[in-house]
Amino acid sequence: MSIPSAVNPDLVKERQNATFDVDEFASWFYGDTALMGMKRLITEELYRGLDDPLDLEYMSYEDVYTAGVKQAVESTVRMRNMQEKINPGGTEIYPTLLSGLVGNAMMPAGNPMAVHLLMFTKALKGQGTSEQYERWGKRADNFEIIGTYAQTELGHGTYLRGLQTRADYDRRTDEFVLHTPHISAYKWWPGGLGHTVNYCIVVAQLYIDGESKGIHLFLVQVRDEETHRPLPGIDIGDIGKKIGMPGVNNGYLGLNKVRIPRIQMLMRNAQVLEDGSYVKSPVSQLNYFPMVYVRAAVAFGNTFFLAQAVTIATRYSAVRRQSPINEPEPQVLDHITQQMKVLPEIASVVAYRLAAGQVWSLYHRTAKDVNAGDYSRLPELHALSCTLKAACSYDSTYAIERMRQSCGGHGYLAAANLGNIFGLASAACTYEGENSVLYLQVGKILLKAWGDVLAKRQLMPTMSYLGELAAWKQFPQWTGSWQQLVEALQYAATNKTRLAHQHYTTRLGAGRTQPQALNETGIELTQAAELHGRAFVTYTFLQEVTGKAAAKRSANLNRVLEQLLELYLVHTVQRHMADILRFVPLSEQQIDDLQTRLELVLKQVRLNAVAIVDGFDLEDRELSSVLGSYDGNVYERILASAKKSPMNKRPVPVAFERYLKPFMRAKL
C-alpha cells in the first residue's frame, strides 16, 4: 500500500501556526548550528538502504541476534569510513554516533558490541597501564578483539562489595586464579557476553595470601580468537529473552579456576607486584570511573528516549480527531486532559537535556583532572551522576508509558515502537546501579553534607544551597516567582536532609549499628535524594532560560523556553506539594493560583507543541513509528504495516484446517 506524499493537513496547520523558528530551536537544543547541520547530512547518508526494523518483530530469537550482529558490523564500518572521509582522527561520528539515537536507528535489534565501545575500551585506556593499552587496548580499538565488562553477578548487582567472584594471586606462577565459587557468583547481564565477545574485563575480589584487597579489574580471554570456542574453565552463554534489546546478547559467565598472567590485572592505579606486594590506588573510586561514565551517558540516552516517545504522542495527538464536543471532531491534543498527559513531558525533555549536559561537562572536566592527578571533583561527579541517572531513568520510563496510553489502542502496536522505546528506557532503571540504591548512595552523601553544614565546612557546589537555606528561619513570603519555585524544592530538600540526619543520629544514639541506622532511615534518605535531584534539574533549567545565554537567542525562542520552564516548574512543584507543604506554609489560594497557572501554560505550550517536537529533530528512521512520522499519515501507515505481517501472506491459515475446522464441526 502506498503512503500519500502530502503531509497531513492538521500537521501543516500546526507548523504554519508556530510562533518561533524550528531550526533555531533545534540548533539550541543540540548546542551548535554547525553540529545540527552536520547531523542531518551524516544521517541522510548513514540511513540510506537500511532494512525495515519492523521485520525484526517476526524473526526468531536467534535470527534477531544474527541480524543484530550484521547491523552492528555494517554500522561500525560505515561510521568509521565516514569519519575518515570527513575528519580523519576525529570522534564526532565514530564512535560517538554508534550509541544514542543514530546507533539505535541503525541497529534496532540492539548493539551486541555496545559495551565493548562504552566500557571495555574505555576501561583498558583509563584503568590500564600504557603497556597494557598498547598490548590490548589498541587491538580492542581496532576490533581485533571484542570485549565486555562483567561486573554484575547472578546474586549481586549494585552492592559491589558483595561480589563473590575471586581473583587469588599465586606468586609461585605469577598468575591470578579467577573463580566463581557459587552459582550466585556467575557473571550475569553483560552485553555481548553470550556469544559475541572473546575477551572480558572481570570485576572480582582480589585476594593475596587469603587477605581481601577489595574489587579490582582483570582482563580475561573467554573464547579462542580463531575458532571462537569457549576456553577451558569457561562456562559462557546467552541469558535468554528479555523485555527489550533482543539482539544485545546479554550473557552469563562462570569461571572454574581460570589462570591469567599477573599483568592482566588493570594496574594504572592499584598494583600487585611479582612478590605479592600490593600497591593501593590513590583513590579507590577510580575503579568505578567507567560506571560513572555510563551513568552520565544514561541521562542523555533516556532524555532522547523520552523525546522519541513525546514526538510520537504529540504528532499522533495532533492528527487524531475524536470527541462529541463539537463538529468537526476536535484534535485529541485540544483536550486539556490529553495536554496534561503529553505537554509536561515535552518540558521534561528540555529540562533533562540541559541537566544531562551539565553532568556531561562535569564528567569531561573531571576526567581531564584525573589524568593530571587531581581527584577533587570525583565525589561531586559521583553524587550528581547517581542523582540524575536515577531521576531521568525513572521519569522517562513512567512518561513513555503515559505516552503509549495517550495514543490509545494504536499505541499498543509494535509498529508504534513505543514498546521498544519503553524497553530501552526501563532497562536503565536497573543497570549500572539500581535506582533506589543510587538514591540511597546520594542520601548518604547528603548526610555527610549536613554534617558539613553543622560544622560550617565548605560544601560541593551542587549542594551549596543546603548551607544557605539551612540558615533560613522560615521560608520567605510567597511570591510564586520562578526563582521561588526552585527555592521551594531546595528548601524541601534541605529540610528533608535535616530530618534524615536527625533521625539517623537518633538511631545511632539508641544503639543501632551504622548499617542498621542507614537502613531504617532509608525512606527519608531516598526522598531527600530525589528532591535534591529535582532541585538540580529545575535550577539548571532556570539558569539557562534567565541567564546570559538568553541574549544569544531570539525573543520568540526565549518566549517558548519561558513557557516550557513555567510548565516544568509548576508541574514539578505540584508533584512534590506534600513535601513542600511540610516546610512552606502555602494558603489554599496560593495553591489554587498554581493550578490556574498550569492550565494557562498548557494552552500556551499546546499552540507550539508540534513545532517544539519538530525541534527535537528526530527523523522518521529514529522514531520508527507508524504514529509519529513527520507526514502524519498515520492510518495509511498502520494499514501498510499490518499488511506486512507474515500472517497475511495466505488467505487461509494452517491453523484453520488443522484445528479450527475440526473443532467447529465437532459435536461438543
Non-local CB neighbours of 323 within 8 Å, separated by 6+ positions: 329, 330, 332, 335
Binding residues for FAD: 152, 191
How high is the pLDDT of residue 40? Answer: 85
pLDDT at residue 1 is higher than 70: no
Q: What is the mean pLDDT of residues 120-124?
A: 94
Q: Quick check: 88 and 53 in contact, CB under 8 A?
A: no
How high is the pLDDT of residue 289? Answer: 75
How high is the pLDDT of residue 433? Answer: 87
Q: What is the mean pLDDT of residues 435-460?
A: 96
Torsion of CA 622, 623, 624, 625, to 10 degrees: -170
What amino acid occupies position 47? Answer: Y
Torsion of CA 500, 506, 507, 510, to 10 degrees: 180
How high is the pLDDT of residue 547? Answer: 96
SS3 127: helix
Q: Where are the domains of the chain?
A: 120-279, 296-362+371-464+484-626
pLDDT at residue 283 is higher than 90: no
Q: Cell match 500500500: residue?
A: 1
User: How many Å separate Cα 9 from the centre of its chain?
Assistant: 35
User: What backbone torsions phi and psi does residue 271 show, to the nearest 5 degrees?
Assistant: -140, 150
pLDDT at residue 195 is higher than 80: yes
How high is the pLDDT of residue 375? Answer: 84
Q: Quick check: 610 and 15 in contact, CB under 8 A?
A: yes
Rounded to whole angstroms, what are the CA distances from 554 to 20, 29, 631? Answer: 9, 14, 28
What amino acid occupies position 553? Answer: R
Read off the DSSP letter of residue 276: S
Q: What is the mean pLDDT of residues 69-85?
A: 95
Non-local CB neighbours of 345 within 8 Å, separated by 6+ positions: 306, 309, 310, 313, 399, 402, 403
Enclosing H/E stretch for 299: helix 289-319
Give the pLDDT band of residue 468 (cuts 50, 70, 90): very high
Q: Residues 208-257: pLDDT tens digits?
A: 999 999 999 999 999 999 999 999 999 999 999 999 999 999 999 999 99
For residue 189, count CB atoms less than 10 angstroms from its CB and return exposed for 0-12, middle for 13-18, buried for 19 or more: buried
How high is the pLDDT of residue 256? Answer: 98
pLDDT at residue 311 is higher than 80: yes
Peptide bond into 95 cis (omega under 30): yes
Non-local CB neighbours of 61 within 8 Å, separated by 6+ positions: 241, 246
Most confident of 37-46, 282-291, 498-507: 498-507
SS3 460: coil
CA atoms within 13 A on the CB side of 459: 23
Identify which of 206, 103, 83, 197 has the alpha carbon closest to the alpha carbon of residue 150.
Answer: 197
CATH class, domain 296-362+371-464+484-626, is mainly alpha
Torsion of CA 485, 486, 490, 495, to 10 degrees: 0
Residue 153 CB neighbours (<10 A): 25
Nearest 5°: the CA angle 379, 365, 124 is: 85
Identify which of 212, 644, 614, 253 has the alpha carbon closest to the alpha carbon of residue 413.
Answer: 644
Enclosing H/E stretch for 45: helix 33-46
Give the pLDDT band of residue 370 (cuts 50, 70, 90): confident
pLDDT at residue 133 is higher than 80: yes
Q: What is the mean pLDDT of residues 335-349?
A: 98
Binding residues: 152, 191
What amino acid occupies position 347? Answer: A
Q: What is the mean pLDDT of residues 74-96?
A: 92
pLDDT at residue 321 is higher than 80: yes
pLDDT at residue 667 is higher than 90: no
- Looking at every residue in the chain, the average pLDDT score rounds to 95
pLDDT at residue 326 is higher than 90: no
Catalytic residues: 432
The grid coordinates of residue 83 equal 569519519
The grid coordinates of residue 219 equal 582482563
How high is the pLDDT of residue 320? Answer: 96
Give the pLDDT band of residue 285 (cuts 50, 70, 90): low
CA gap 223, 127 in Å, rounded: 23
How high is the pLDDT of residue 306? Answer: 98
The grid coordinates of residue 652 equal 487461509
Q: What is the mean pLDDT of residues 470-493?
A: 97
Give the pLDDT band of residue 372 (cuts 50, 70, 90): confident
Residue 250 CB neighbours (<10 A): 24
How high is the pLDDT of residue 287? Answer: 65
User: What backbone torsions phi and psi does residue 186 show, to the nearest 5 degrees?
Assistant: -55, 135
CATH 2.40.50.140 fits 120-279, yes or no: no
Give the pLDDT band of residue 374 (cuts 50, 70, 90): confident
How high is the pLDDT of residue 44? Answer: 87
Higher pLDDT, 282 or 615: 615
Q: What is the mean pLDDT of residues 117-132?
A: 93
Q: Residues 33-74: pLDDT tens digits?
A: 777 777 888 888 999 999 999 999 999 999 999 999 999 999
What amino acid occupies position 621? Answer: R
